[in-house]
Amino acid sequence: MSLPEQMKAIVFYGPQDIRTETVKTPQIENVTDVILKVKYSGLCGTDLHTYRGHIKGPVGQIIGHEFMGTIVAKGSAIGDDKFQVGDDVLSTFTVQCGTCWYCVHGYSGQCEKTNTFGKVGLAGGQAEYVRIPYALSSLIKKPETTGDVDDSVYVLMADIFTTGYYGVKKIVDFSKQSPTANIKAQEIGDLTVLQLGLGPVGLCALRALKHFGFKKVVCVDNVPSRIEEAKRLGAYKTINFDTEGDALKEFIKNETQGVGFDAVLEVVGAPQALKTAYDSVRRNGFISSIGMAHDQLPFDGLECYLKNINISFGRCHAWSLFPEALEIFEELKGEFKSFIDYKPRLEDSKEAFDLFDKHKVNKVVFDLT
């Protein structure tokens, strides 16, 4: 199958300056590459970091790390038993070699050769075609489509559902630990969880928490539409921190015997969120932080010691966790249909970024079908 010489793609030029342009179509460069014809490509909250200028973006680069599509070309090392031209596949938001210590041990997010689509050195997937290096450890065949759910939901698997699952898995692991040999771990349904942040990752995480049997999940954000979505997905209580300032303290006092939350899922990364996590978690509780923190931590060593703090940070190991996250996603995907509330064409990139930036839409997925 010969590829067209040129294609459309969304290119980053600077803060508030992204453009849909005609660029060269990618080609197979290495024997483990695959070229995908993109069907759906999402706009992730992290794309806003560069769009808003908070993080330096890759000028002149195609952006986007959430996509799925159809294999149209593959390198000589990709056997037909693995992938065939014509296969519909999902991609992780990162590439990973599949063979280094971290990949082998289940921590693919730390792969020695990892990169993220749309970052420096790896063209992204907000494009008609995208090159996938290390395709054997970056792609997975799309499950058979069933019911009335179209393939656009699988864009959530690339990053946000899997990242949400990663944060939740750590809470599940923590919940299984017995404090002593004679005291059983509390039942999951009895544990209180505070979730800070209801962006797309947060909403996926909330649904995953519910899937695992957590009942008392209190969600905090300040965007009304997100809060509505959290209610739909089963939040036990929602708190708008702009307008319900004391509600969190009241909940801790009245519904946790004053001790605080057993666990906090922190999906923001800002120091204020980490501080709220510290203040709200019970002594000996657990903070699962999947937000990308940048600053000095808002608690010192003595505060951590005195409160017996347990905390886990870091980027999702998307490839390592893909099979188990996908198994859960297959059960839940129908609930995410309404989650994607704006499906523009690639040409509408300016409007799409603008609406997403202003929280006027929850989740944007470019439709290239």
- In the complex, the residues that contact a second copy under the rule CB under 8 A are 101-102, 105-107, 109-110, 173, 177-183, 186, 257, 259, 269, 271, 274, 283-284, 289, 292-297, 299-302, 304-315, 317, 320-321, 323-324
| Residue showing tokens 């893909």 | 322
- The least distance separating a second copy from the CB of residue 335, rounded to whole angstroms, comes to 22
CB-nearer residue toward a second copy: 41 or 96: 96
CB-nearer residue toward a second copy: 12 or 322: 322
CB-nearer residue toward a second copy: 38 or 265: 265
- The least distance separating a second copy from the CB of residue 5, rounded to whole angstroms, comes to 39
Evaluate whether 186 touches 262 at the Cβ level (below 8 Å): yes
Give the residue among 43, 19, 9, 33 at the shortest CA–CA distance from 360.
43
CB-nearer residue toward a second copy: 2 or 180: 180
- The least distance separating a second copy from the CB of residue 170, rounded to whole angstroms, comes to 8
- The least distance separating a second copy from the CB of residue 291, rounded to whole angstroms, comes to 8
Give the number of other Cβ atoms within 10 Å of residue 255's Cβ.
Answer: 14
- The least distance separating a second copy from the CB of residue 241, rounded to whole angstroms, comes to 20
- The least distance separating a second copy from the CB of residue 224, rounded to whole angstroms, comes to 28
- The least distance separating a second copy from the CB of residue 110, rounded to whole angstroms, comes to 4
CB-nearer residue toward a second copy: 115 or 310: 310
CB-nearer residue toward a second copy: 242 or 300: 300
Which long-range CB contacts under 8 A does 348-352 form with residues at least 24 apart?
348/20, 349/10, 349/18, 349/19, 349/20, 349/126, 350/18, 350/19, 350/20, 352/43
Give the residue among 8, 98, 42 at the shortest CA–CA distance from 346.
8
Evaluate whether 289 touches 218 at the Cβ level (below 8 Å): no
Structure tokens at 16: 């508030």
Q: Report the residue count for the chain.
A: 369
Q: How far, in Å, CA of 69 to CA of 142, rounded?
A: 9
Residue 359 has φ and ψ, to the nearest 5°, of 60, 30
Q: Residue 44: left if φ>0, alpha if ψ -120 to 50, beta else—which one?
A: beta
CB-based contacts of 285: which residues, under 8 Å, 6+ apart? 260, 261, 262, 263, 264, 309, 310
CB-nearer residue toward a second copy: 324 or 351: 324
